[in-house]
Amino acid sequence: MSNMVTQRNGIHRFFLQLGSKWAIIFLILGAILFSIISPGFLSFNGIQVILINSPFILLLALAETFVIITGGIDLSVGFVMGFASVVSAKLIALLVVMGMNDLFSIITGIVITLFIGIIPGFVNGILVARLKVPPFIATFSMLGITHGVSELLIKGVVAKNLPVLAGKIGNGSLIYIVPGKTVSFFIKPLIQRGGNLIEILPTVFVIPFIFILIFAFILKRTKFGQHTYAIGGNVDAAIRAGINVKNHLIKIYMLSSLFATIAGILYVLRYITGKADAGTGFLLDGIVAVVIGGASLYGGIGSVWKTIIGCFIILVLENGLRMLGFPTFYKYILVGIVLIFAVLVDKLFPELIHKEN
Amino acid sequence: MNNNKNSTLSVSQRLQSILAKNWAILFTLIIILIFSFTGKRFFQLANFQNILHLSTIYLLLTASETFVIITGGIDLSVGFVMGLSSVLSAKIIELLHAANFPPALSISIGSIVALIVCIIPGLINGVLITKYKVPPFIATLGMMGIANGMALIISEGFPVAYLPRVLPNIGNSYLIYILPGKAISFFSKPKGIAGEEIKELIRIIPNSLIFISIIIFILWHILKNTKFGQHTYAIGGSMDAAVRAGINTNKHLIIIYVLSSFLAGLAGVFYVFQTGIGIYTSFGAMYELLAIAGVVIGGASLMGGKGGIIGSVIGVFLLGVIENGLHLSGVDPFFRYIAVGLILIVAVIIDQSFPDLL
């Protein structure tokens, strides 16, 4: 085997190298292509728009990454996101009505929602790990349950009456620059009408990105991450290696629900409403992003960084097509084709996978 | 003594296993009984016919999913292939209708073209899955996006609505109409009745029931009594064994996915007949997931090799009765989603607890 590798010439290795990086090359080429066709694409605002639209798909894809690496799947994240958006919106509105200060009720509402939002994941974990229900079925059931419960909470409409402050947080940015004058963080400086204000890094992007950094580190460098790969690679081997597989899986599904919950909370801060179907559509994009990123649904393969590349491929396609004036319809087709292409690359060039692991 | 115990099941054990094996139908009967008390006008011929009529689409999709799941695969594209077929057939009918073609001709052309086109997604799914070893989940997920996009492009994001009036009449009429003591007619209402009399009219056997019964019977026969059916179970039971037994598994699987897509197409065409419009499938509809739920409640395993048409029909019927019964009992319709989730979990746990049933 090692002989074969050394015998390979430089060109072959170069192409192999190229093939294993096809996703990022595809992303860059796509970005270049779109910026040539539509000039505004790579502008400052064009990039901001992509970043503002990214948090939901990033968080749901991050959730799927962990689950898919263990060889499972979580269909419930979309409606857990909706559930969390409804619960947090309801809680915050309730706390404000009870006379609590706006900021404090937002913070309290979010903290409580984070705890409630983990429950679906906990139940998923119990079903999958202890009761041996296939992940597809267990999480689909949870999809139905969270959907039903959130619709019941808002009686089929949307949760409203949130304080204005929530929208300010959700639509704010990390850095504000008034050219030549001041720079401020998180708080929008007061400017005159028509004055020049540059907003950099939307908050809704910064928050998930911090999570992503943390969990990319956890998956890559910690024992928790190693165990996740081990379970996905071979459950029996993982058990023999002394990993508490059941507990670990429960944690993974709770983590998945936690990410979805954060996505739901961000949705509320961004749109100032809670909706039961807030996450519909993001679920599939999330799974697709993970697979485009090279993860295998059989488990054991995948990484947070590659998932992010997958997410941005979808976002670039979506945004580029929109800027060119195509309706969203074409995005569905292109994403479907890219998804199949991603798997075909892996199947036709199996060396790519082995080389990396 | 011990040997006896092991070789023959005790009465209670046998009873338990019969209960577990037929839990879905028992459960359906029990909830029908409950809804008969709680639901207004639930236990009536008209209502049961209504449940069946509204279940037709799910029956078609679930039947298609049954074949795929028995082979150990999954087809996530059926819901959106259905939308594609609905939009495509409606668009063709609309165009021909606008060009003054007779309704019968335009409806036939539209339906047949849509059915033929809907074979393509299945063919691509099958080739990707067999020749290129793409996991069914991913191949059909990709196809789902593509079919969805196509349907949206064809319909431009709006329902296709300018169709001949006769369409919903065909889809929603009944075989027999009886006006007690006065008139009886077939396929359409007796002539010259109006006003109060229309309330007394008894309608028996919706056309959709005849249509779906024929389809289901054919599929049941194929799966139960033919070599094709045997091979389907064999592939799901053990792919390697099926290959060694000389089954052309690739060809067989391609046919299965084509069949699945075709049935989804049929559901789309039926949808046009039922509602009189063609419409794309929205993301929230989750037809494919509900169809899979029906199959699993019917006793199939996602691992393959298990399941059957009858079970799937019971699964769909169970979901239909719950939706209808909750609605008529005045319960918030959103409890339905929760009920589906809970029943699905129960189905799998019962299946896990009695692994030696099939």
- CATH pick for B22-163+208-353 out of 1.10.3470, 1.10.1660, 1.20.120, 3.30.70: 1.10.3470
Q: Is B246 exposed, middle or buried (0-12, 13-18, 19+ CB in 10 A)?
A: exposed
% of chain A beyond a pLDDT of 90: 52
pLDDT digit string, tens, across residues B290-307: 999 999 999 898 889 999
Q: Please tell me which residue of chain A has the smallest CA distance to B138.
A: A340
Q: Give residue A203's pLDDT band: very low, low, confident or very high (50, 70, 90).
A: confident
Decide if B340 touches A, using CB distance below 8 A: yes
Average pLDDT along chain B: 90
Q: Are A356 and A304 in contact (CB under 8 A)?
A: no
Which has more pLDDT, B133 or B3? B133
Give mean pLDDT, residues A159-187.
81
B355: contact with A, CB 8 A cutoff: no
Q: What residues of B are in contact with residue A143 (Cβ under 8 Å)?
A: 289, 341
Chain A residues with CB under 8 Å of B146 CB are: 332-333, 336-337
Higher pLDDT, A37 or A139: A139
Least confident of A82-86, A174-178, B42-46, B322-326: A174-178
Question: ∠ at Cα A270 (A264, A274), nearest 5°?
Answer: 50
A-contacting residues of B 319-338, CB under 8 Å?
A: 332, 334-338
User: How many Cβ contacts (< 8 angstroms) between chains A and B?
Assistant: 136
Backbone angles phi, psi at A128, to 5 degrees: -75, -50
Range of weakest confidence among A6-15, A93-102, A304-313, B306-315: A6-15
The answer to whether B90 and B160 have CB atoms below 8 angstroms apart is yes
Residues of B in contact with A133 (CB under 8 A): 345, 348-349, 352
**pLDDT over 50 at A41, yes or no:** yes
pLDDT, position A119: 97
Digit-coded pLDDT (tens) for B193-248:
777 777 778 888 899 999 999 999 999 999 999 999 999 999 999 999 999 999 99
Amino acid at B271: Y
CB B172 within 8 A of CB B274: yes
Tell me if A141 and B143 make a contact (CB, 8 A cut-off): no
Cα A213 from Cα A62, distance rounded (Å) = 11
Inform me whether the pLDDT recorded for A190 exceeds 80.
no
Higher pLDDT, B22 or B252: B252
Highest mean pLDDT among B19-33, B61-75, B297-311: B61-75
In chain A the domains, ranked by start, together with CATH numbers, are 22-348 (1.10.3470)
Q: Which among B134, B332, B335 has CB closest to A343?
A: B134
Q: Is B341 on the interface with A (CB under 8 A)?
A: yes
Q: What is the mean pLDDT of residues A178-203?
A: 76
Choice between A213 and B199, residue whose per-residue pLDDT is larger: A213
pLDDT of residue B241: 93
Return the pLDDT at A174.
83
- In angstroms, what separates the C-alpha of A285 from chain B's closest C-alpha? 10
Q: Kindly state the average pLDDT of the residues A302-312.
A: 93
Torsion of CA A90, A94, A95, A101, to 10 degrees: 100
Q: What is the pLDDT of residues B252-303, one digit of tens each?
A: 999 999 999 999 999 999 999 999 999 999 877 889 999 999 999 998 988 8
The CA distance from A284 to A291, in Å, is 11
- Kindly report which listed range (A314-328, B91-105, B213-227) carries the lowest average pLDDT score: A314-328
Q: Is the predicted pLDDT of residue A307 greater than 50, yes or no?
A: yes
Q: What is the pTM of this model?
A: 0.90
Residue A314: list chain B partners with CB under 8 A.
none
Q: Identify the pLDDT of residue A2.
A: 47
pLDDT value for A100 = 85
Average pLDDT for chain A: 87
Query: Which of A277, A332, A337 to mutate: most B Cβ within 10 Å?
Result: A332
Q: Nearest CA to CA, how far is A163 from chain B (Å)?
A: 28
- Residue A106 is predicted with a pLDDT of 92
Is the Cβ pair A134, B337 closer than 8 Å? no
What gap in Å lies between CA B96 and CA B116, rounded to an integer?
A: 18
Lookup: tokens for A156: 């089929």
pLDDT, tens digit, 9 for 90 and up, residues B110-138: 999 999 999 999 999 999 999 998 999 99
The lowest-confidence range among A99-103, A169-173, B265-269, B311-315 is A169-173
As for the ipTM of the complex, it is: 0.86
Residue B236: both structure tokens together: 């799901």
Strand-pairing partners, residue B177, are: B185, B203
d(CA B236, CA B26): 28
Instruction: Looking at the complex, report in whole angstroms how far the Cα of residue A191 sits from the nearest Cα belonging to chain B.
Output: 42
In chain B, domain spans: 22-163+208-353
Contact A280 B344 (CB under 8 A): no
| pLDDT tens digits, A91-122 | 999 999 998 888 899 999 999 999 999 999 99
Of A297, A328, A331, the CB nearest to B137: A297
Q: How confident is the model at residue B12 (pLDDT cuts 50, 70, 90)?
A: confident
Residues 119-148 of A with CB under 8 A from B: 127, 131-134, 136-138, 140-145, 147-148
Residue B131 CA neighbour count, 13 Å, CB half: 8
Nearest-Cα distance to chain A for B337, in Å, is 5
Predicted pLDDT of residue A353: 54
Q: What is the pLDDT of residues A258-292, one digit of tens each?
A: 999 999 999 999 999 999 989 888 888 999 999 99
B81 in contact with chain A, both atoms CB, cutoff 8 A: no
- For residue B247, the model assigns a pLDDT of 94
Query: How far from the centroid of its chain's Cα atoms is residue A227's Cα?
Result: 22
- What confidence score (pLDDT) does residue B319 get? 93
B332 versus B81: which is more confidently predicted? B81
- Whether B170 shows a pLDDT value over 60: the answer reads yes
Residue A103 contacts residue A285 (beta carbons within 8 Å) = no
